[in-house]
Amino acid sequence: MQLGAVYIPPGKPIPQDIFDTYVDKSFYIFGDYNAKHTDWLCTNNNASGVQLRNWLDNTGCEMIYPNQPTSKRSTAVIDFGITHNADGWKAEEKIEKRNSFISQGNNIWKYVHSTFHPYAPSFKGLTTNNGIIKDHQIIADTLANYYEKHFETPIIDPNNISHIDAMKEYDVFTKQPNIPLEKITLIEVEKNWKRAQKKKSTDTEGLSAFLLHQIPLEYLQIITVAFNKIAETGEVLRSSKHAKTICLSKDGMYPEVNKLRPISLLSNFGKCFERIIHGRILKWCRENDIFIDEQSGFTAERRLQTRILSLVEDLRLATAANNRPSLVIFVDFMSAFDRMWHPALLKTLLKLEFPPPLLRWIFSWLNGRTMSIHVGNAVSRVIKLFVGTPQGSVLAATLFRLHVHFLPSYFMNLVCHLFADDLAIIISGALENTFSKNITELERQAEIAMRILAKYADDNLLPVNINKTKALLVHDVVAPPYPKIKYKELPIEFVKRFKYLGVDITTKLGWGIYI
């Protein structure tokens, strides 16, 4: 294919002899022709336009032109292209539809996401205490050993009342039979089938979403019948309980095992079924007003921006007076989604009066899950998972959000902001106190807050990552004293700037870094 550009000065004839050399070839020539003709939406014809029109008629070549003026000095279309065949040329139509979609207030992120998405390189080997490993099978087996320990059964404290209660309820629930689910409709299947990303990577069954979406939509009726057979038993598609896991590096070509990002490739049929269940869970949450003001994330009208603006506004109002500082503790839970303890989740869902059929299905979905590590053509042994939710499932984030539903209520007199597993605790000083007295009071309240956090973390087996948990003192003083904060006798580091949900929050709440 020949691709070219041209500029023809006003009043000059088109270079017909040059164009003639491409007539029998596949070609596209774009540029400023300065040729006007009513056939391509101009108000009048000029000599170049008539000449070009005659040449197109004689050769059978075609034009590609926009439906609006391109000239800055008139309403003429003088910038366009000529080609051997314009059939199927829909670029302009696609651009117009996209611009129309965005102009109506719709999200531009779907078009620019790939530009800003962080690049995660494939790795060539693992760095271990014994050196670098490059053999794919040894890498797969090494990662299997690591993740088997990572997802092992947690140690229960026999003296912890919350652990005892959770295990009792869990054991009772284990003995209960499955409950049939509400009938699945063709509309539900079609809606969730179309929403799936058409990726070419193969799942645990060797199928890709891209391939499955070539199936005519009429076949969705068969899938609906199959899904209803499963729904009648209240069971889970067996193949969807195994994850084919690949790993991406977060630290160069030869990372350590804890510097990898595991990506689970789940059954595409299973994911469609999960999205249907997820839709029903969200519907129940909305109808029962489950979502609380302190929580955001993975839900319509409760986005990331909501949480950032709410936190900044709370801090700005609290520190309006010079003598009133605010302390923010940004808590990081260690591998929160991976470490979610199933009995604690079940206990929370029962407390929320979760619908029994959905609860029983979630119980079956979480139990007996497995994974295997794939590195090149090498595959590890199958690993059993006793905690957490499968990465890559639409249900994971929603279940974790329900899991920590009651967390903000533990801090009764404090302001909390919760986005997924990111917790921010705000402790503000009093107007009637001096700055130094407020610092003392912040330290006292922070000590109480950390005891509450430790109790919640222990009861739910949800450990806090003290190395990533930071404190920020928001104030208007030149050289303030800092309160001392400890979590389980370990000091929490103070920072002058913290990146919260992608936005830098500073001690002065300034936006200088962005201006």
Look at residue 429 and tell me if it is in a domain. Answer: yes
Residue 467 has pLDDT above 90, yes or no: yes
Residues 347 and 215 in one domain: yes
Distance, in Å, from the CA atom of 92 to the CA atom of 66, rounded to the nearest integer, reads: 7
Count of structural domains within the chain: 3
Residues 168 and 308 in one domain: no
Look at residue 394 and tell me if it is in a domain. Answer: no
- Cα–chain-centroid distance for residue 386? 24
Residues 159 and 194 in one domain: yes
Residues 320 and 286 in one domain: no
**30: enclosing H helix or E strand:** strand 27-32
Residues 364 and 430 in one domain: no
| Radius of gyration in angstroms for the set of CA atoms belonging to the chain, rounded to a whole number | 31
Residues 161 and 224 in one domain: yes
Look at residue 355 and tell me if it is in a domain. Answer: yes
pLDDT on residue 302? 58
* Tokens matching residue 279: 């839709």
Residue 227 has pLDDT above 90, yes or no: yes
Domain at 58, CATH number:
3.60.10.10
Could you give the C-alpha distances from 156 to 160, 171, 406, in angstroms and in order? 8, 14, 21
* Tokens matching residue 269: 């049929």
Domain range enclosing 435: 304-335+400-506
Query: By percentage, how much of the chain surpasses pLDDT 90?
Result: 52
pLDDT on residue 322? 74
pLDDT on residue 250? 85
Distance, in Å, from the CA atom of 421 to the CA atom of 400, rounded to the nearest integer, reads: 8
As a whole number, mean pLDDT of residues 411-439 equals 88
Distance, in Å, from the CA atom of 404 to the CA atom of 420, rounded to the nearest integer, reads: 9
Look at residue 34 and tell me if it is in a domain. Answer: yes
Lowest model confidence (mean pLDDT) among 140-149, 216-225, 371-380, 474-483: 474-483
pLDDT on residue 146? 94
- Which of 84, 100, 118 is the endpoint of a domain? 84
Residues 58 and 169 in one domain: no
Residue 38 DSSP symbol: G
Look at residue 445 and tell me if it is in a domain. Answer: yes
pLDDT on residue 198? 83
Residue 93 has pLDDT above 70, yes or no: no
Lowest model confidence (mean pLDDT) among 261-270, 399-408, 411-420: 411-420
Lowest model confidence (mean pLDDT) among 3-12, 100-109, 486-495: 100-109
Q: What is the pTM of this model?
A: 0.72
Phi-psi region of 388 (alpha: psi -120 to 50; beta: other; left: phi over 0): left
Residues 410 and 434 in one domain: yes
Q: What does the pLDDT look like over 315-355, one tens digit per residue? A: 888 777 777 889 999 999 988 888 899 999 999 999 999 99
pLDDT on residue 211? 86
Q: What does the pLDDT look like over 101-139, one tens digit per residue? A: 666 655 655 555 555 555 455 688 999 988 999 999 999
- Compute the mean pLDDT over every residue in the chain, rounded to the nearest whole number: 87
Could you give the C-alpha distances from 143 to 44, 201, 246, 258, 263, in angstroms and in order? 72, 21, 10, 9, 13
Q: What does the pLDDT look like over 353-410, one tens digit per residue? A: 999 999 999 999 999 999 999 998 899 999 999 999 887 788 998 999 899 999 988 9
- Which of 84, 110, 145 is the endpoint of a domain? 84
Q: Using 50, 70 and 90 to split pLDDT, how confident is the model at 158?
A: very high
Q: Are strands 131-133 and 126-128 parallel, antiparallel or unpaired?
A: antiparallel
Residues 143 and 219 in one domain: yes
As a whole number, mean pLDDT of residues 507-513 equals 77
pLDDT on residue 91? 62
* Tokens matching residue 44: 């009048």
Distance, in Å, from the CA atom of 159 to the CA atom of 162, rounded to the nearest integer, reads: 9
Domain at 405, CATH number:
3.30.70
As a whole number, mean pLDDT of residues 10-15 equals 91
* Tokens matching residue 94: 């696609």
* Tokens matching residue 155: 């140690």
Long-range contacts of 83-86 (CB under 8 A, 24+ apart): 83/27, 83/28, 83/29, 84/22, 84/23, 84/25, 84/26, 84/27, 85/26, 86/62
Look at residue 299 and tell me if it is in a domain. Answer: no
Look at residue 513 and tell me if it is in a domain. Answer: no
First-to-last CA distance in the chain? 46
Q: What does the pLDDT look like over 267-323, one tens digit per residue? A: 999 999 999 999 999 999 989 988 776 666 555 555 667 778 888 888 888 777 777
pLDDT on residue 371? 94
Q: What does the pLDDT look like over 245-255, one tens digit per residue? A: 999 888 888 99
Residues 251 and 323 in one domain: no
Helix/strand number for the chain, H first, E second: 16, 21
Select the more confidently predicted residue: 234 or 478. Answer: 234
Residues 50 and 181 in one domain: no
Residues 137 and 215 in one domain: yes
The sign of the CA dihedral 432, 437, 442, 448 is negative
Partners of 419 in beta bridges: 296, 422
Select the more confidently predicted residue: 110 or 476. Answer: 476
Query: By percentage, how much of the chain surpasses pLDDT 70?
Result: 90
Q: What does the pLDDT look like over 163-210, one tens digit per residue? A: 999 999 999 999 999 999 999 999 999 999 988 888 888 888 888 888
Look at residue 55 and tell me if it is in a domain. Answer: yes
